[in-house]
């Protein structure tokens, strides 16, 4: 298995797409920080409900809020990029015909696919960490430049909370990555994986919104889908109120009939396991021919 | 060198819906031999090789290599096989060297020196660091051969290894194949260059529409030693005389010559018998057949693929 992890890492590390995806995520963090800082004196609300003062937004961009904000970006745009990475890692093997090369050089199809998925998750985690580090660095500059160098907030519980937020973010990305991965394996193409993963990430919130508005029997169905459960978990991240949030906040979820934290976790785990099992089942049984 | 059976297919079938790609394929390949597998396009060669490597699931039957069933336990055996099927496929963004390195990492226990050695062997040293996507078809074939030999395999499967190669490259491959056999490898060769196959093969199998139509040594398939070619001023009289000899099994007329089904070893005796009957032959020689003729006769193809 170590050999397969090594070779998958070797291939993805050498591939331009991996670097492009990483650079895009970092660029997005820098761009959002720059834009928010530049408008922080002029904007006092994002949407109807998120009202704040100019000082609120400035302080939100200081070090204390940098990790959750970077995770918010990674959990939304980063998920899209990770889906593309996962779908591309599988789909390209079919497009190039290298699926056969690796199938005859590796110690088993299931191991090969698991190694690929493990490396994709590892690179995703590394990308999210990189986004956090860039956000912290950028935020540190803003904080210093504006006399906010007070580190009393860095307590053991704060650090624990940030690590938990990091773990939660990776966890909510995992079902979408697994979906993109499985769809790429089953569809034998990058496009199939990217379309399934990104399509679900974009369209599901719209559909679940309609279901909630539709009342019984529709309103409970979203609790068994991805987005509502992702919101339950992501809302635990302590993002400063003034910063734009791409999913639901804790306040948004109050009064809604959503799953408990444990229930949401269980549903997402079932999805992750289901998607991965589907990919393994399809790949294990399938003939690997010239047309892939 | 003692030969043992290393590959055996037992009643191998592959059906895709109503289409039968491979039907009741029974092959035997022995150690240290060059075995050629011939057939027109779409005759089931690659599907058979796919089943042999565990890439394609047989509908019925099984493929055993080194005694292991490839459908259930392919990995220990795959480490001992080097194969390029149909056309070489590598990562386009990686260099030739890095592609071999990726294969070496996946296989394990292959030092960088071995990669260098294979690069050198196939003559890609100057272009080893160039991206694979910039390689010509011939260079891709060379890299495919290097990848095949990287693991120093007991069994080498080469599918159209001379595709895209220039005459010099083709000659190198033609020399490489028997050399591999001499060095202790067994070679399973799929090629449409029948004169090349004839020159390097120990045994040949010919398939048509998924079915094995002939298998044997090259000599057996060509009927070497079994036919004599004769011509006389009066071929009719010659044919009558041949018909009267009990150990001449048959006579055909082809291109102004007579082909007598008789052992080449008895050519002198035949000449003497004919002369005693007052029939004097102007030409008498072993009948030489090309593998291409046999192939075309058996498959009914215009040209092999």
Does B87 sit within 8 Å of A289, measured CB to CB? no
Concatenate the DSSP letters of all residues of B163-194 into one string. Answer: TT--HHHHHHHHHHHHHHHHTT-EEEEE-S-H
Taking alpha carbons only, the member of B147, B161, B228, B211 closest to residue B190 is B161
Does B94 sit within 8 Å of A14, measured CB to CB? yes
Whole-number percent of chain B with pLDDT over 90: 17
| Nearest chain B residue to A110, by CA | B75
Contact A143, A149 (CB under 8 A): yes
List residues bridging with A51 in a β-sheet.
Answer: A45
Over the stretch B139-154, which tens digit does the pLDDT of each residue have? 888 898 889 989 889 8
Specify the DSSP class assigned to residue B105: H
The predicted model gives A236-260 an average pLDDT of: 73
Query: pLDDT value at position A43?
Result: 66
List residues bridging with B201 in a β-sheet.
Answer: none
Taking alpha carbons only, the member of B59, B68, B56 closest to residue B7 is B68
pLDDT band at B303 (very low <50, low <70, confident <90, very high): very low
CB neighbours of residue B145 within 10 Å = 26
Separation of alpha carbons A16 and B106, rounded Å: 21
Separation of alpha carbons A225 and A82, rounded Å: 20
- Helical ranges in A74-155 per DSSP H: 79-96, 98-105, 109-145
Instruction: Say yes or no to pLDDT of B304 above 60.
Output: no
B83 contacts on A by Cβ (under 8 Å):
104
Instruction: Say yes or no to pLDDT of A292 above 50.
Output: no
- HSE on the CB side for A29, CA within 13 Å? 29
Which of A190-194, B83-87, B124-128, B207-211 bottoms out in mean pLDDT, i.e. has the lowest?
B83-87
Separation of alpha carbons B274 and B233, rounded Å: 13
Over the stretch A101-134, which tens digit does the pLDDT of each residue have? 888 887 788 888 999 999 999 999 999 999 999 9
Instruction: For chain B, list residues whose CB is within 8 angstroms of any CB belonging to chain A.
Output: 46-47, 50, 53, 55-57, 75, 78, 81, 83, 85-87, 89-94, 98, 101-103, 105-108, 147
| Nearest chain A residue to B83, by CA | A104
- Helical ranges in chain B per DSSP H: 45-52, 75-78, 96-107, 112-121, 137-149, 167-182, 194-200, 218-222, 235-243, 267-276, 291-299
ipTM of the complex: 0.81
| Pairing of the two strands B28-30 and B81-84 | unpaired
> Within its chain, how far is the Cα of A86 from the centroid?
12
Over the stretch B164-197, which tens digit does the pLDDT of each residue have? 777 877 777 777 888 888 888 888 988 777 777 7
Q: Structure pTM? A: 0.80
A11 contacts on B by Cβ (under 8 Å):
91, 94, 102
A289 contacts on B by Cβ (under 8 Å):
46-47, 50, 55-56
Instruction: Say yes or no to pLDDT of B224 above 70.
Output: no
Query: pLDDT value at position A46?
Result: 62
Over the stretch B230-272, which tens digit does the pLDDT of each residue have? 888 888 888 888 888 888 888 888 778 888 888 888 888 888 8
Task: Kindly give, in sequence order, each residue whose CB lies less than 8 Å from that of residue B101, ignoring residues fewer than 6 positions away.
Answer: A10, B112, B115
Over the stretch B24-83, which tens digit does the pLDDT of each residue have? 999 999 888 889 998 888 888 888 988 998 888 899 999 999 888 887 777 778 888 888
What residue ranges define each of the domains in chain B, with the CATH number in brackets?
Answer: 5-221 (3.40.50.300), 227-288 (3.30.70)
């Amino acid at each position: 298995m170590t050999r397969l992890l090594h070779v998958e890492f070797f291939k993805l590390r050498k591939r331009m797409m991996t670097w492009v995806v990483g650079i895009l995520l970092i660029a997005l963090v820098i761009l959002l920080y720059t834009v928010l800082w530049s408008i922080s004196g002029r904007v006092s609300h994002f949407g109807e409900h998120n009202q704040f003062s100019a000082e609120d937004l400035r302080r939100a961009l200081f070090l204390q809020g940098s990790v959750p904000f970077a995770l918010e970006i990674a959990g939304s745009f980063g998920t899209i990029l990770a889906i593309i990475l996962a779908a591309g890692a599988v789909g390209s093997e079919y497009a190039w015909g290298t699926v056969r090369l690796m199938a005859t050089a590796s110690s088993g199809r299931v191991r090969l696919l698991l190694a690929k998925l493990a490396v994709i998750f590892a690179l995703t985690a590394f990308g999210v960490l990189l986004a956090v580090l860039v956000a912290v660095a950028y935020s540190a500059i803003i904080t210093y430049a504006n006399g906010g160098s007070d580190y009393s907030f860095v307590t053991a519980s704060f650090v624990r909370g940030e690590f938990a937020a990091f773990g939660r973010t990776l966890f909510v990305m995992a079902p979408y990555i697994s979906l993109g991965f499985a769809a790429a394996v089953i569809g034998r193409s990058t496009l199939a994986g990217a379309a399934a993963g990104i399509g679900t990430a974009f369209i599901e919130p719209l559909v679940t919104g309609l279901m909630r508005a539709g009342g019984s029997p529709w309103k409970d169905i979203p609790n068994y889908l991805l987005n509502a459960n992702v919101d339950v978990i992501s809302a635990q991240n302590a993002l400063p109120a003034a910063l734009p949030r791409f999913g639901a906040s804790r306040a948004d979820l109050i009064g809604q009939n959503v799953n408990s934290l444990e229930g949401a976790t269980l549903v997402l785990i079932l999805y992750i396991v289901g998607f991965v099992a589907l990919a393994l089942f399809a790949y294990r049984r399938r003939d690997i021919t010239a047309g892939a | 060198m003692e030969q043992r059976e290393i590959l055996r297919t037992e009643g191998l079938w592959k059906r895709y819906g109503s289409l039968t790609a491979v039907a009741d394929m029974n092959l035997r390949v022995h150690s240290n031999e060059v075995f050629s597998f011939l057939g027109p396009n779409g005759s089931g060669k690659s599907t058979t090789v796919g089943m042999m490597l565990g890439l394609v699931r047989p509908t019925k039957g099984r493929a055993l290599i080194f005694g292991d069933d490839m459908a259930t336990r392919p990995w220990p055996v795959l480490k001992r096989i080097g194969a390029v099927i149909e056309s070489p496929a590598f990562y386009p963004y990686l260099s030739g060297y890095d592609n071999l390195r990726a294969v070496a990492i996946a296989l394990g226990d292959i030092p960088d020196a071995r990669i260098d050695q294979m690069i050198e062997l196939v003559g890609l040293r100057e272009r080893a660091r160039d991206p694979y996507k910039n390689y010509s078809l011939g260079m891709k074939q060379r890299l495919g051969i290097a990848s095949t030999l990287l693991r120093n395999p007991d069994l080498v499967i080469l599918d159209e290894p001379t595709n895209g190669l220039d005459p010099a490259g083709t000659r190198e491959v033609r020399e490489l194949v028997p050399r591999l056999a001499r060095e202790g490898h067994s070679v399973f060769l799929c090629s449409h260059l029948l004169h090349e196959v004839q020159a390097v093969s120990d045994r040949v199998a010919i398939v048509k529409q998924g079915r094995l139509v002939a298998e044997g040594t090259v000599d057996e398939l060509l009927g070497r030693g079994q036919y004599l070619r004769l011509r006389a001023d009066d071929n009719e009289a010659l044919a009558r005389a041949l018909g009267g000899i009990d150990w001449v099994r048959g006579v055909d007329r082809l291109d102004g010559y007579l082909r007598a089904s008789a052992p080449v070893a008895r050519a002198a005796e035949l000449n003497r018998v004919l002369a005693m009957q007052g029939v004097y032959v102007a030409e008498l020689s072993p009948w030489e057949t090309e593998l291409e003729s046999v192939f075309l006769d058996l498959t009914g193809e215009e040209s092999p693929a």
